């Protein structure tokens, strides 16, 4: 299955960096712990807010503040996710770059109001951030659910861009430029879980939390 | 020195998370390797693109594609930087959160055209990503400089938001809920430098690159 970019998600430059495979889009959305949601405020100015998300099939659910959710309702949004994989140190300043995978999803966000879909979306976000955590934690009651805004955004209009590999100016080596060039890898890692100070001392770290900390990286 | 938020950068909710100190804003911008630039396209829809930046005093310079730079010219932009510090696993799903530091800078971007400022801005971005790299690499020539768009954004209208610490539902422990809760720390780390395959085998990793890989974290 391939992405079908509309004119505005078709990259205008560096088209070789556009990955046509929807699996890459899904993988980027699934790996990222964080997304940035772009909105246009009442004065027509852009506003970009960090938040959490989860993908379920061809929909991405976004945990929104009530403010962001009201700004996003019935308006276009842009959800962008970026995984930084490396700093690309070339010979020439001009060829410096970054290795990354990024996804851009555009469209109208839908405020999730159906109670079942709302709960499934919250479950997806919690499970996305720490697999196994939904069954561990206390589920939201009706009041808590009502206070948690969730937006749904269809993946119909999405693009994904990937840059990997060494610096782009190897021809300079043949021209006698032997200064060092290469890539410094960048990774997001999870550390040792820190228990809440209010917790009784004899409560062990659950297996799903310990496993997650080890699994990433 | 404190930030002077305008009505639109004054947080409407969770005001206790707003850090008034401009030093926090600077520290967040200085630590982040990546930023997200929000624009409004010609159809009035938001567009959020990842890019690189560097702060010089009260200005943040943004490396822009020519497309983004032309969209941003004489228009409002929003530059958002987010450092994810931890996944906050509470007892209740409702109190799940993230530890993070984020900066939001709004205003009109200025396209940098003065050659001296343009070069200083590129230097700042290169040095921001890898200190010592500007003196190591080959400087841009006139053609390369002309092909590299740089935007300048004033920090006059900026806000910074910080959430740190344990989960926010310790009262549940007193109510007899002894399930595990805590924080999984999240960090961005740099790995061992990977030399460009085109490089002669006897070129060592420069000291500034080795030092940077070790310094972060």
B45 contacts in A (CB within 8 Å)?
8, 40, 76, 78, 106
DSSP run (H or E) holding B150: strand B149-154
- Of B49, B52, B2, the residue nearest B25 (C-alpha): B2
CB contact under 8 A, A48 and B78: yes
B140 contacts in A (CB within 8 Å)?
92-94
CB nearest B167 (choices: A12, A49, A196): A196
CB contact under 8 A, A172 and B138: yes
Q: Is residue A216 in a domain? A: no
Predicted confidence at residue A21, as pLDDT, reads: 81
Min Cα–Cα distance to chain B from A1, Å: 25
Beta bridge partners of A59: A56, A154
- Of A167, A39, A138, the residue nearest B104 (C-alpha): A39
Predicted confidence at residue B203, as pLDDT, reads: 97
Note whether B51 and B63 are within 8 A (CB).
Answer: yes
CB contact under 8 A, A140 and B173: no
In this structure, the number of other CB atoms found within 10 A of the CB of residue A160 comes to 27
Structure confidence by residue, pLDDT tens digits, A164-194: 999 999 999 999 999 999 999 999 999 999 9
Note whether B63 and B148 are within 8 A (CB).
Answer: yes
- Of B18, B39, B183, the residue nearest A190 (C-alpha): B183
CA distance A83 to A121: 23
Interface test with B, best of A39, A51, A89 (most B CBs within 10 A): A89
CB contact under 8 A, A205 and B182: yes
Query: What are the φ and ψ backbone dihedral angles of B82, each rounded to 5 degrees?
Result: -135, 125
Structure confidence by residue, pLDDT tens digits, B62-104: 998 766 777 777 789 999 999 999 999 999 999 999 999 999 9
Q: What is the CATH number of the domain that holds A113?
A: 2.30.110.10
CA distance A31 to A17: 19
| B103's tokens | 């900066």
Reported ipTM: 0.91
By C-alpha distance, the chain A residue nearest B94 is A140
Residue count of chain A, please give it: 217
Predicted confidence at residue A3, as pLDDT, reads: 46
Lookup result for tokens 């999240």: B186
Q: What are the strands, taking DSSP E only, across A68-168? A: 76-89, 97-108, 110-111, 149-154, 158-163
A100 contacts in B (CB within 8 Å)?
34, 50
Torsion over CA of B2, B8, B13 and B16, rounded to 10 degrees? 0
Q: What are the strands, taking DSSP E only, across B15-116? A: 35-40, 46-51, 53-56, 59-64, 76-89, 97-108, 110-111
Note whether A149 and B177 are within 8 A (CB).
Answer: no
By C-alpha distance, the chain A residue nearest B184 is A193
CA distance B196 to B135: 19
Minimum mean pLDDT range among A5-14, A49-58, B38-47, B202-211 = A5-14
- The β-bridge relationship of strands B194-195 and A182-190 is antiparallel
Beta bridge partners of B49: B37
Q: Is residue A208 in a domain? A: no
Q: Is residue A66 in a domain? A: yes
Minimum mean pLDDT range among B5-19, B46-60, B70-84, B129-143 = B5-19
CA distance readout (Å), B47 to A28, A103, A106, A176, B67: 18, 12, 8, 42, 12
Min Cα–Cα distance to chain B from A54, Å: 14
Does B17 score more than 80 pLDDT?
Answer: no
Structure confidence by residue, pLDDT tens digits, A42-86: 999 999 999 999 999 999 999 987 667 777 777 899 999 999 999
Min Cα–Cα distance to chain B from A16, Å: 15
Interface test with B, best of A33, A47, A48 (most B CBs within 10 A): A48
Q: Is residue B215 in a domain? A: no
Q: Is residue B119 in a domain? A: yes
Structure confidence by residue, pLDDT tens digits, B143-164: 999 999 999 999 999 999 999 9
CB contact under 8 A, B13 and A100: no
| A7's tokens | 């004119």
B84 contacts in A (CB within 8 Å)?
33-34, 188
Min Cα–Cα distance to chain A from B57, Å: 22
A43 contacts in B (CB within 8 Å)?
8
| A172's tokens | 């300079």
Structure confidence by residue, pLDDT tens digits, A18-53: 556 899 999 999 999 999 999 999 999 999 999 999
Question: How many domains is chain B built from?
Answer: 1
CA distance A161 to A39: 21
B79 contacts in A (CB within 8 Å)?
48
CA distance readout (Å), B153 to A39, B27, B62: 19, 17, 8
DSSP run (H or E) holding A143: helix A142-146
Q: Is residue B194 in a domain? A: no
Does B123 score more than 90 pLDDT?
Answer: yes
Structural domain of B161: 15-188
By C-alpha distance, the chain A residue nearest B186 is A190
């Amino acid at each position: 299955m391939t992405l079908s970019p509309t004119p505005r998600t078709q990259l205008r430059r560096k088209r070789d960096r556009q990955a046509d495979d929807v699996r890459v889009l899904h993988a980027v959305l699934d790996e990222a712990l964080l997304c940035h949601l772009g909105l246009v405020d009442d004065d027509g100015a852009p506003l970009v807010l960090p938040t959490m998300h989860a993908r379920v099939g061809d929909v991405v659910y976004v945990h929104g503040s009530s403010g962001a959710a009201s700004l996003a309702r019935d308006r276009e949004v842009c959800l962008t996710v970026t995984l930084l994989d490396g700093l690309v140190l070339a010979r020439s300043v001009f060829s410096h770059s970054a290795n990354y995978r990024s996804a851009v999803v555009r469209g109208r966000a839908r405020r999730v109001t159906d109670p079942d879909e709302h709960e499934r979306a919250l479950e997806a976000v919690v499970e996305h951030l720490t697999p196994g955590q939904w069954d561990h934690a206390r589920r939201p009651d009706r009041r808590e659910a009502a206070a948690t805004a969730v937006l749904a955004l269809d993946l119909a209009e999405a693009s994904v861009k990937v840059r990997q590999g060494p610096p782009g100016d190897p021809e300079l080596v043949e021209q006698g430029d032997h200064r060092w060039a290469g890539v410094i890898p960048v990774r997001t890692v999870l550390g040792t879980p820190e228990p809440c100070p209010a917790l009784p001392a004899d409560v062990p770290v659950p297996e799903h939390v310990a496993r997650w900390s080890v699994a990433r990286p």
